[in-house]
Amino acid sequence: MTIRLRWPVLAVATTLLVASCGGGTEAPPAATAGTATTSCASKGPLTMWERSGGNKEMVDLLVAAWNTKNPDCAIKLTYIPHTEMVGKIAQGIASGQVPDLMGMDLIYAPQFEKAQQLVDITPRIQDWTELKTASKGHMTVATYQDKVYGVPLYADVSALFYNKDLFARAGLDPDKPPTSLAELRTYADKITALGGGVHGYYLPGNCAGCNIFTVGPLMWASGAKIEAAGPGDEPLVGEGVKQVLEFTREMVKSGNVAPGARTENGETFHLQFGSGKVGMMGTGNFNITLARQQNAKMKFGISLLPGVTPGSSASFIGGDLVVVPKGSKRVNDSVNFMKFLMSDEVQVEVYAKALNLTTRSDMADNKYFRAEPLVRDVAKALTVGRTPYTFTFFEQINSPQGPWLKMLQRAYYSEDSLDTVIADAKTAMKKIAV
Amino acid sequence: MYRSRRRRLVGFAYLAPALIFVLVFTVYPLGQMVWMSFNNWSLITPPRYVGLDNYRQAFDDHQFWVSFLFTVKYTLIITPILIVGGYLLALLTSSNGPLRRVTRTVVFAPVVIGLGVSSLLWYWLLSPDSGLVNRALTDVGVIDKPVLWLGVNANTSNFAIIASVTWKVIGFGMILFVGAIQAIPTEITEASLVDGASYWQRVTRVIVPLTLRTVLLVTLVSVIGSLLAFDQFYIMTAGQPGNETATSVFYVYLNSFPYLKLGYGAALSILLAVTILALTVVQLLITRRREA
Amino acid sequence: MSRLHENAPRRGVRPGRARYLVAAVCLAICVVMLLPLVMSFLASVKPPAEAAATPPTYLPHGLSFDSYRRLWSYQQGLPAYLLNSLGTALLAIAITLVLTVPAGYALARFQIPGKEVIFVVLLVALIVPYQALLTPMFLMFVHLKLTNTLLGLAIVHAVIQLPFSLYILRNSFSGVPRELEEAAVVDGASSWQALLRIFIPSVWPAIVTVALFAFIMSWNEFLGALVMMSRGDRFTLPLILAAARTETSLGGTDWGMLQAGIAISMVPCIAVYLLLQRYYVSGLMSGAVK
């Protein structure tokens, strides 16, 4: 069949293209192609894809900042529906019609790196001091077999947000957030007892990504492991899995979660805490500004997501990477954009000013954060944070139809034996990781 | 002789553009799809020949059967509703008085708005807190707390989607039935009136049998369409809960796009197409027999 | 042959009461069918605060085009998406008609060997889920440089519409009386002239029906557009509607903007339908009864 013949041709063609294309200054990736700067390497607009459903405000700000500084090579950004992103990227690469650079949900990076579909930028960035303090979670998934393929675009980290006003009303100390799951439960009960549409906790019932972001760390903090990294790897290992599922099941049964949460599919997840009707909830740093916008007078605090043992904690480091797809005609400019993102000025004046996490930990001490203790608190989560590393993240975990969400839904809303629920999920995840 | 051969060639020339178009844009990709079904291919890694593995895997695949059975269930419930409901509406509006014509126009209107838009519209109407369905039901007193129509319970979701799709497509069957009913010569109905037949006797003994061909045709088209249903499930439930409302085509889509299992998706498509083809043949044979 | 019910005088079979009952039923049905459309449109003109209210209001308490304004400037701007959708739809109609009118003519009026087989093959395309065909087509289009073009997407839409259109047209062509054709032949007309002067005017309702359905299908089609278009400025309306669903305003999904999008999607379809009603009704009824 013709496709079989075309594939090698396509592969050779794209290699030649990468090697010989561009505005004269493009060189084969193996060579150190000159020092990167934060301005244009060649003229002409840059095409960039980014997934929808992420931190759109942050990405828009970053692109706008670059476009203001470099109008000659301004970025034209296209948002792709995030559930279609993996398919779209694959199609783009297979057909050679790729954007110049891409924002990619970081947990998909290993899959594309393994398939050798991203440009290896190791030689270009190896002497960048900025990367020494870049988010570990991002850089781990950006690396495959000791080669680096991207840098952080933005970082999200999950933490436990708690409503100090509701704490005070329930007779809890507003400066003492819970440090274990058991405490979380006790506090939640007290807050729910206040009545008036107020609930102590929140569990999104129909959103796989929200749950890995905020319930996954509860399992990690309890010593468990979740994803199957690759073929033959065992997923869902550790007593923590069952303990956390029990915890969540009891939370729902005891009425600590609003019934409407059952249909939450992620579209309004980031607006729940700001409503002021939730006592405590796992959510991300992006919720600081959002909650303030929704509810300026609400007093709230941030602490780490706890596990079974008092004092244990974990967090999910998420966000996006900037990567360069194979076949991109503007590798130099893409790398320049990366340098721009990691530069001191952008870290402070764009990321920190918007009260988003800086992707470099050494830039966390800046004037904006000093005026905003909550951001400092949430940044602490980075130290206990981790990012899953697997080649089939979407299908195993993030997919609305995948085993992760199914397991959680059975735990939250059914009476099925948790052992069966976990065993079923394990089987499904192992099959996918093949 | 010469003229008839020339005429055949001329006829073929008229047919040629469509034929070429179909060969290039349908048959060729179809052939590729068949080839894909014998390979494992994720688009970003080279294809790997696996013979009939994809087909074998389908039979062991729990989700494949869940999707298939759900699709069949959906079809079995919605088809009678559409056919009987459409026919009743046709009986109601088959005369040409102004009110009937307006009713026909109104009932057909949802047919022209597109399934995606209709699904979004109902997605909003059925929203637990912002939707008018729950508001109206609460106001009337039928329910006392919001019903979670979509994505929580497979049967409730099925019911809700069937209601929305019925609203959208029932007009199509209605119009075709009206056409068929109006094509019955008046002499025949007048004859039955002389015999003293009541309205319903007229309907069942005269009108239905004479429009049977159209009914069977509409049933066939409706069944095929329902077995291939995708848009409404993609938009309204995204297959939730836990893939229970993911129809067969939805599962094909999942494998072909986000999961990057193109070979498997192709094999599933072919299995589905073969099933529908078999069903179609069976239905046509039954039709032939009935007409004989 | 006289047609049932058309001009038959009321035979007094129905007493007056039943007439009112039937009229009431008709009215009730009209209300039920129209209600979702009307409520959607009303929701699109609610002020943002009211559009986001839970529980929702039935009738708007104020009038505001804010939702439309937000939609207008959404991402690349609504006009771009409207033009893309319109351009694709028009091209799809053109391609479909150019292919299926002659083909329907040929299949109905010419003795082509194996034409039943050909007809069945063309219909088989109806039962293959086109979702899986999209990737091979996409790869082919890359080589043909048809990706990210309205023409490429229009071809995909034509592929989807072809079987149905061909079926309707072939049936319609079959229904043209032989006498008309023979009269043209006697006048010395070629088959082409016969097509233009005799057949096309006769099957005009079917042509309009085919065009209408091609338009509706193309205007609303989502997955093909998603696969074929990777440049934001080439997106069509359904893609933007899908994206709009994830937009939020004032603590919830931006229902107002979504309704505005739904309204804008619906209006052309309903307008075209109302204008061309005359044709499609007879087109459908004649084309399908065979």
DSSP string, C202-240: HHHHHHHHHHHHHHHHHHH--HHHHHH--SGGG--HHHH
Axis crossing angle, helix C78-109 with helix C150-174, rounded to the nearest 10: 30
Q: What ipTM was reported for this prediction?
A: 0.83
Helix (H) or strand (E) holding C77: none
Find the mean pLDDT for residues C127-138. Answer: 83
Chain pair A-C, CB pairs under 8 angstroms: 55
Summary mean pLDDT of chain B: 86
The 8-class DSSP code of residue C266 comes to H
Summary mean pLDDT of chain A: 85
Residue C2: its pLDDT value, please? 43
Residue with the bigger pLDDT between A380 and A212: it is: A212
pLDDT tens across B37-47, in order? Answer: 999 888 778 88
Residue A201: its pLDDT value, please? 94
Mutation target for B interface from A263, A268, A392, A432: give the one with most B CBs within 10 A. A263
Mutation target for B interface from C128, C151, C286: give the one with most B CBs within 10 A. C128
Residues 6+ apart with CB under 8 A from B3: none
Residue A34: its pLDDT value, please? 62
Assess contact for A265 and B151: CB atoms under 8 A.
yes
- Say whether pLDDT at C61 is over 90: no
Find the mean pLDDT for residues A274-295. Answer: 88
CB interface of B with C, residues 99-118, below 8 Å: 99-100, 102-110, 112-117
Residues 6+ apart with CB under 8 A from B161: B74, B122, B150, B232, B233, B236, B237, B245
What percent of chain A stands above pLDDT 90? 47
Q: B200 pLDDT band (50/70/90 cuts)?
A: confident
| Distance set, CA A425 to CA A187, A234, A309, B245 (Å) | 30, 11, 25, 19
Phi then psi for C179, rounded to 5 degrees? -55, -40
**Which residues in chain B have their CB less than 8 angstroms from residue C107's CB?**
15
C-beta atoms surrounding A182 within 10 Å: 14
Find the mean pLDDT for residues C246-252. Answer: 62
- Say whether pLDDT at A338 is over 60: yes
Residue A25: its pLDDT value, please? 39
- Say whether pLDDT at A202 is over 90: yes
Q: Which residue in chain B has the smallest CA separation from C41?
A: B121
**Which residues in chain C have their CB less than 8 angstroms from residue A3's CB?**
136, 139
Reported in sequence order, the residue ranges of A130-171 that DSSP labels E, i.e. its strands, are: 143-144, 147-148, 150-163
pLDDT tens across B94-115, in order? Answer: 887 888 888 989 999 999 898 8
Residue with the bigger pLDDT between B70 and C8: it is: B70
Per-residue b/e over A122-146, b at no fewer than 16 CB within 10 Å? eebbeebebbeebbebbbbbbbbee
Q: Which residue in chain A has the smallest CA separation from B150?
A: A263
Asked if A268 and C251 come within 8 Å (Cβ–Cβ), the reply is: yes
Q: Is some CB atom of chain C closer than 8 A to the CB atom of B259?
A: no
Find the mean pLDDT for residues A419-424. Answer: 94
Phi then psi for A417, rounded to 5 degrees? -60, 130
**Which residues in chain C have their CB less than 8 angstroms from residue A96's CB?**
142
Asked if B240 and A395 come within 8 Å (Cβ–Cβ), the reply is: no
Q: Which residue in chain C has the smallest CA separation from A266?
A: C246
C-beta atoms surrounding A115 within 10 Å: 19
What residue ranges define each of the domains in chain B, with the CATH number in brackets? 1-37 (no CATH), 62-291 (1.10.3720.10)
Look at residues A264, A251, A260 and name the one whose alpha carbon lies nearest to residue A411: A251
Q: What are B117's two structure tokens?
A: 């838009």
Residue C249: its pLDDT value, please? 59
Helices first, then strands: H and E counts in chain B: 15, 2
Residue C58: its pLDDT value, please? 83
- Say whether pLDDT at C1 is over 60: no
Q: C16 pLDDT band (50/70/90 cuts)?
A: confident
Asked if A268 and C139 come within 8 Å (Cβ–Cβ), the reply is: no
Residue B235's identity, in one-letter code, is I
Tally the residues of chain B: 292
Find the mean pLDDT for residues A230-244. Answer: 90
pLDDT tens across A61-100, in order? Answer: 999 999 999 899 999 888 887 778 888 888 888 777 889 9
Asked if C132 and B33 come within 8 Å (Cβ–Cβ), the reply is: yes
Asked if B31 and A263 come within 8 Å (Cβ–Cβ), the reply is: no
CA distance B150 to B125: 11
- Say whether pLDDT at B196 is over 80: no
Partner residue opposite B151 with nearest CB, options A2, A86, A206: A206
Write down the domain spans for chain C: 2-44, 66-288
- Say whether pLDDT at C204 is over 80: yes
CA distance B163 to B109: 16
Find the mean pLDDT for residues A153-171. Answer: 93
Longest alpha-carbon distance in chain C = 74
pLDDT tens across B12-34, in order? Answer: 888 889 889 988 998 899 899 89
Residue C252: its pLDDT value, please? 61
Q: B9 pLDDT band (50/70/90 cuts)?
A: confident
Assess contact for B171 and C281: CB atoms under 8 A.
no
Longest alpha-carbon distance in chain A = 72
Look at residues A298, C244, C135 and name the one whose alpha carbon lies nearest to residue B36: C135
**Which residues in chain A have their CB less than 8 angstroms from residue C226's CB?**
81, 84, 88
Q: What are C163's two structure tokens?
A: 């079987």
For every residue of B105-127, DSSP letters joined together read HHHHGGGGG-HHHHHHHHHHHT-
Find the mean pLDDT for residues A256-280. Answer: 87
- Say whether pLDDT at A38 is over 50: yes
Residue A135: its pLDDT value, please? 87
Residue A20: its pLDDT value, please? 35
Residue A375: its pLDDT value, please? 87
pLDDT tens across C139-190, in order? Answer: 889 888 888 899 999 999 999 999 889 888 888 888 888 888 888 778 877 8
Find the mean pLDDT for residues C207-225. Answer: 90
Helix (H) or strand (E) holding B234: helix B231-236
Q: C283 pLDDT band (50/70/90 cuts)?
A: low
Summary mean pLDDT of chain C: 82
Q: What's the CATH code, domain C66-288?
A: 1.10.3720.10
CA distance A282 to A211: 9
What percent of chain B stands above pLDDT 70? 98
Asked if B44 and A86 come within 8 Å (Cβ–Cβ), the reply is: no
Asked if C248 and A76 come within 8 Å (Cβ–Cβ), the reply is: no
Is the omega angle on the peptide bond into residue C55 within 30 degrees of 0, that is, cis? Answer: yes
Q: C288 pLDDT band (50/70/90 cuts)?
A: low
Q: For residue A385, what are the β-bridge partners? A: A315
Q: For residue A278, what are the β-bridge partners? A: A199
Least confident of A42-51, B220-229, C169-178, C243-252: C243-252
Helix (H) or strand (E) holding A316: strand A313-323
CA distance B217 to C26: 26
Least confident of A99-103, A320-324, C8-12, C205-209: C8-12
- Say whether pLDDT at C6 is over 70: no
Asked if C251 and A271 come within 8 Å (Cβ–Cβ), the reply is: yes
Residue B290: its pLDDT value, please? 63
Residues 6+ apart with CB under 8 A from B243: A401, A406, B63, B66, B67, B251
Tally the residues of chain C: 290
Residue C11: its pLDDT value, please? 46
Residue A215: its pLDDT value, please? 94
CA distance B229 to B237: 13
| Distance set, CA C229 to CA A105, A328, C153, C218 (Å) | 21, 18, 8, 14
Q: B81 pLDDT band (50/70/90 cuts)?
A: very high
- Say whether pLDDT at C126 is over 70: yes
